[in-house]
Amino acid sequence: MNLRRAIYLVVVVVLLSSLAIGRSIQKESESQTLVKSARFLEEKPLDKQAKDVRSWAITWIIQTDKVSVKACSLIISGVKKKYKYESELFGQYTIGMAAFKLAHPDKSSEEDAAQMAGVESTVVTYQAILKEQPKAQDAFMDSLVAKRTDGTLADYVKANNCKDK
């Protein structure tokens, strides 16, 4: 009888440990999936799966304790409210910051770097949108592309970052 209880206890402990390890692996793979999703959305923001991928990514960022981001409206506030792809760009900004923090955990507390990664991701996404929809231009996003080209984007992000005051 004691041997049965001991075996039962060992089996329960092993099963519970397996579940905990499985959850840990699942969280890790979700982090990796977020990073991969960010790259996919940069390359194919108008793909037929992009909306679902974006929705999953934003939901995961909101619900997870693995990463947190500070969305700074000052950085992309210049995008016209009626711009057709405004939600795609703002979503990519958020996803880009989270992907940066997950891919570079040693820099996850560097808010300027995370903001820059989010803006860079947004600019790349905007350029991908323009490849598919050349008439989808936005003057503010064009100015960010120009800043990226002339090397002043980092200065702009730093000056307009929504740091705690």
Q: Which residues of the chain have pLDDT under 50?
A: 3, 6-26, 165
Query: What's the pTM?
Result: 0.80
CB contact at 8 A, 92 and 42: yes
Residues in Cβ contact with 102 at an 8 Å cutoff, skipping those fewer than 6 apart: 31, 32, 34, 35, 66, 67, 108
Q: So where are the chain's domains?
A: 32-160
- What is the tens place of the pLDDT at every residue in 24-48? 434 558 889 999 999 999 999 999 9
pLDDT of residue 161: 78
pLDDT of residue 6: 41
pLDDT of residue 80: 84
